[in-house]
A and B are shown apart, each in its own frame.
Chain A
Amino acid sequence: MRLPRFFGKKRGHRRTGSQAWGSFGEAIFYAALVAAGVCFAGLLLSGAVGIGSDATAPAWSRWWLWAFTLLIPGALLAFGLAGVARTVRAWGKSEERRAAAEGISNLLESMGQSPGADRGHPGVPTCEDLVNSPGTILRYRLPIESPESWTLVGMGLFAVLWNAVLVVLAVGAGIDLLSGRIEWVLFAVLMPFAAVGIGGIVLFVRRLVLTTAVGTTQMEICDHPLFPGRSYDVLLAQSGSGVFRSIALTLEVEEMASFRQGTDTRTERVIVWRETVKEWTNLEITPGVRFETHVTVTIPAGAMHSFASAHNAVRWRIVVRGQPERWPGFVRVFPLIVYPATLTRSTAAGGLTLVDKVHR
């Protein structure tokens, strides 16, 4: 068993850390709103039941009271839950990807440079975030697209906060029950909250077991950015324990197009090219000893380079698909940047010469 590492990237100055902490803070804020909403609702419901039992008050006034008293916790809950959902959905995704998915990236009108484009290569995204972390064996360690450990933190945070509030309310209801009073409304409200709390714990435990049992996947590469027609040494390191029915490493090209018209916003992502670089079957990984292997990845000559504009993108990526014997399969994505092969002017007439011109 290997515990998930939240601070795996100790070297380099990649922005992953700060971005993740930003999301973490955001998640805490929204979760606190949810907790406040639940507490407030629980307390008000208890109080409102008391008011409702006042036979002297007319029925309509009781309903208005209910409506008004539930407005504030309802708003807190709605705002908090929406925020948590949005944070979880955006977790681990790049700013560009989120912007494209939400359709707000048109603020950066694409007249000229696309966001984050290389100055010498218009339309080609920069690879600054991919080359600022040195590898242990090869030159660079590639970042994973959706860090699982932070998803785990998000799920754990949600489960703990939600259930803490639930316990407070449940204790109150239990005390009432022991004293012979049964608050049916409070019980009715508690039931769905309890279901969500238990669901949160189940999802968190499942994710924890999956992450620790399957282990992390690391990828290192000998050079970056990549150029068509060239081959690169890649190190795959898979930790975990037990038997993996298969682990496949593929090289893929993804096209992404984001469209917004009228009330419709849609992002379409398709894989247009996939090559299985290598596949291992019935692989047994011993706890504490990770599986390490070198493979050669070749970018085909004449292949399209990485491209990113406000609403469209062509992305290269290495994908590891694993199928552990006892656990559900996993997919881990490592983005790459492929530059266009540049033709030197002096050799254009005589023959093709590829020149690695990198402008960072």
Chain B
Amino acid sequence: MNGSDESNGAARPAAPRISMQFDHPLRQYPVAADLVVLYEVEGVAPGSVRAVERSVLWYTEGKGEEDLGVHHFERLDDATHVAEALPTGTIAVRLPASPLSYEGVVVKIRWCVRIRLFFATGRDFVSEHVFDVGDIAPALGMVERLQ
């Protein structure tokens, strides 16, 4: 998903909307590049968020169990930092040398920026925005299935 939101919790008021602006065109980053993302959170009442988690990570997608590796993670849970992180904020991080984004047949590797909001009511909301690291050609298809 290029951008996806989901929320967990029993009561579900109107979901927030998180938009992101990436500093590279087409969200394609070379290896070891600097990633700068500006995000904006809409539809959140002031004071309703008790913590914000911001992360940059890769995950696998495909026919296997989902594996993930967190490259950058920060949790802001005191009121001052939460207030600074909302409604807009910036995530700046230098990307690692690997793994590179990959569109395989049964294994795909995706990088994303994830923002998770924890509400005072106990509900949480996560928004995920995918970007590419490297420029690996996608696999053309299955040549042979091994036993």
Contacts and interface: CB of A to CB of B under 8 A. Distances in A.
Do A and B have CB atoms closer than 8 angstroms in the complex?
A: yes
B140 interface: yes
* Chain A contact patch, size range: 35 or more
Given A259-B65, A348-B33, A124 B98 contact: yes
Interface residues of B, number: 40
A121 B97 contact: yes
A311 B105 contact: no
B99 interface: yes
Contacts of A341: 31
A314 B102 contact: yes
Interface string B113-134: 0000000000000000000001
A311 B32 contact: no
A304 B105 CA distance: 12
Contact of A270 (B32, B60, B144): B144
A256 B107 contact: yes
Determine chain B's interface SS by DSSP, over half rule.
loop
A307 B69 contact: no
Given A111-B70, A114-B69, A340 B106 contact: no
A112 B139 CA distance: 25
Contacts of A1: none
Given A123-B58, A123-B98, A312-B64, A257 B107 contact: yes
A263 B102 CA distance: 30
Contacts of A112: 69-70
A312 B66 CA distance: 8
Given A258-B65, A312-B60, A307 B135 contact: no
A257 B136 contact: no
A124 B99 contact: yes
Given A111-B70, A122-B69, A255 B144 contact: no
Interface of B: 30-33, 58, 60, 62-71, 96-100, 102, 104-107, 109, 134-137, 139-147
